[in-house]
Amino acid sequence: MIVTLRVSALALIFASTAPERLFSGAPAPLWPGSRFTEADRARAIDRGLEFIHRTALDPANFADYGSDYLWCFYEIASTSSDRALSVRAAAMGKELAARWMAEHPHVDPKSSADDLADFLFGAYAAQQLGFPNSALKEEIRRASARFSAADYLRFDPAKGPRADDPELHDLLCDALIATFTADQYGVTLGAPYRDAARWLDLARPYKVGPGGMIPVVNLVTHVVYTTNGYGANSVSPKTLPSEFAFLRDHFMDREILGDGEMLGEFLDCLRAFGLTLRDPLIQRGYAELLSSQNADGSWGDMNKKDIYNRYHPTWTAIDGLRDYRWRELRSAYSRESAVALLRMSAAYSRF
């Protein structure tokens, strides 16, 4: 009965919000000459969100990735300019946050540093979705003191990682995520964000090395995310010139255009920097994503067995396609930068 009532409540929310967004007025093309409309984009986002929600309801999936699911719905709900999408994501997130809190009443005393960090991520996302628990936060704070900064970050923040470490990009990316989230929650995981971010110049300028494109892209995009609050604010290219240059220069790489997960992250980061649907790069990215959605609403390889490789590309694709309500809209880039970017973009206008 409880499950039935919960599903019914969600159904009422979805029924009351989705039609308003999808079917009001005549379908408008996303840009002049586009074969995709605003309705196509809205449907793609909604189908993707439904896919993520369905997979999160599976107990095995939620046991493995519960904290990440909570963060997904919180991030979409808190930063989307589309009120209907925000309401739907919030309803899904609250449902799952209540479940996560019921399943995680206390910190496991046998938790490793990685386990504790993941637990903190879940507690923070649940708090942001409306389930604060000061007693649990204090448990996490006490437990976090059992480990050193190196236990959490895999390097000493006073000395930094080795510049020639083959895992440099992964180390820095993981450190940014852990320290940023912990700082937002109010519990330190070994070191504050500023102590992790101070070592970013070891990876700049960004170059693709033996580890391939993915570790570099993950670091670049998460520098943007932890700078702009995961889509809460716009950011000037002058603030992050190395990251902006990498995203701009590699957007048209075949590996990026053919990977919905990386493409979604490129799109939401470049749009945070001020690019819009007037830019050919963004148009190309939208066309690629809207052409590659799977029949079940997901993005990514449907043959992958690990659900992370199904729901996470879907999440990033949604973030690449949706609109944001920037809290602090700054001048995205100077007139000179805009002219240079548009000239560069013109080379990619045929697709």
Interval 106-116: pLDDT, tens: 999 999 999 99
What are the pLDDT digits (tens) for 290-309? Answer: 999 999 999 999 999 999 99
Lowest mean pLDDT among 63-77, 178-192, 321-335: 321-335
What per-residue confidence (pLDDT) applies to 28?
87
What are the pLDDT digits (tens) for 24-39? Answer: 456 889 999 999 999 9
What per-residue confidence (pLDDT) applies to 26?
65
For residue 241, whether the previous peptide bond is cis, meaning omega lies within 30 degrees of 0, is: no
Residue spans per domain, the chain: 1-107, 204-351
What per-residue confidence (pLDDT) applies to 225?
98
Mean pLDDT confidence for 90-105 = 98
User: Which residues partner with 212 through β-bridges?
Assistant: 209
What per-residue confidence (pLDDT) applies to 336?
35
Angle between helices 280-291 and 260-272 (to 10 degrees): 150
pTM: 0.86
For residue 205, whether the previous peptide bond is cis, meaning omega lies within 30 degrees of 0, is: yes
Residue 326 confidence class, pLDDT cut points 50, 70, 90: confident
C-alpha distance across the termini of the chain, in Å = 52
Lowest mean pLDDT among 12-16, 34-38, 103-107: 12-16
What per-residue confidence (pLDDT) applies to 23?
45
What per-residue confidence (pLDDT) applies to 188?
97
Percent of the chain clearing pLDDT 90 (strictly above): 84
Q: How far is CA 163 from the centre of its chain?
A: 27
Mean pLDDT confidence for 185-210 = 96
Calpha distance 351→342 (Å, rounded): 16
Mean per-residue pLDDT over the chain, rounded: 89
Angle between helices 280-291 and 335-346 (to 10 degrees): 50
**Residue pair 289/317 in contact by the 8 Å Cβ criterion:** yes
What per-residue confidence (pLDDT) applies to 328?
56
Is residue 121 pLDDT above 70, yes or no? yes
Q: Where do runs of H (alpha helix) occur along 239-322?
A: 241-250, 254-257, 260-272, 280-291, 308-321
**Residue pair 62/56 in contact by the 8 Å Cβ criterion:** yes
- Is the pLDDT higher at 12 or at 326? 326
Mean pLDDT confidence for 183-191 = 97
What per-residue confidence (pLDDT) applies to 331?
38
Mean pLDDT confidence for 230-243 = 97
Is residue 60 pLDDT above 90, yes or no? yes
Mean pLDDT confidence for 124-141 = 98
Query: Within a 10 A sphere around the Cβ of 114, how many other Cβ atoms?
Result: 14
What per-residue confidence (pLDDT) applies to 327?
76
Residue 226 confidence class, pLDDT cut points 50, 70, 90: very high
Is residue 335 pLDDT above 60, yes or no? no
The DSSP element (H or E) to which 10 belongs, if any, is: helix 2-23
What per-residue confidence (pLDDT) applies to 9?
46
Residues contacting 53, CB < 8 A, separation 6+:
92
What are the pLDDT digits (tens) for 135-173? Answer: 999 999 999 999 999 999 999 999 999 999 999 999 999
Is residue 228 pLDDT above 60, yes or no? yes
What per-residue confidence (pLDDT) applies to 7?
42
What per-residue confidence (pLDDT) applies to 13?
45
**Residue pair 128/89 in contact by the 8 Å Cβ criterion:** no
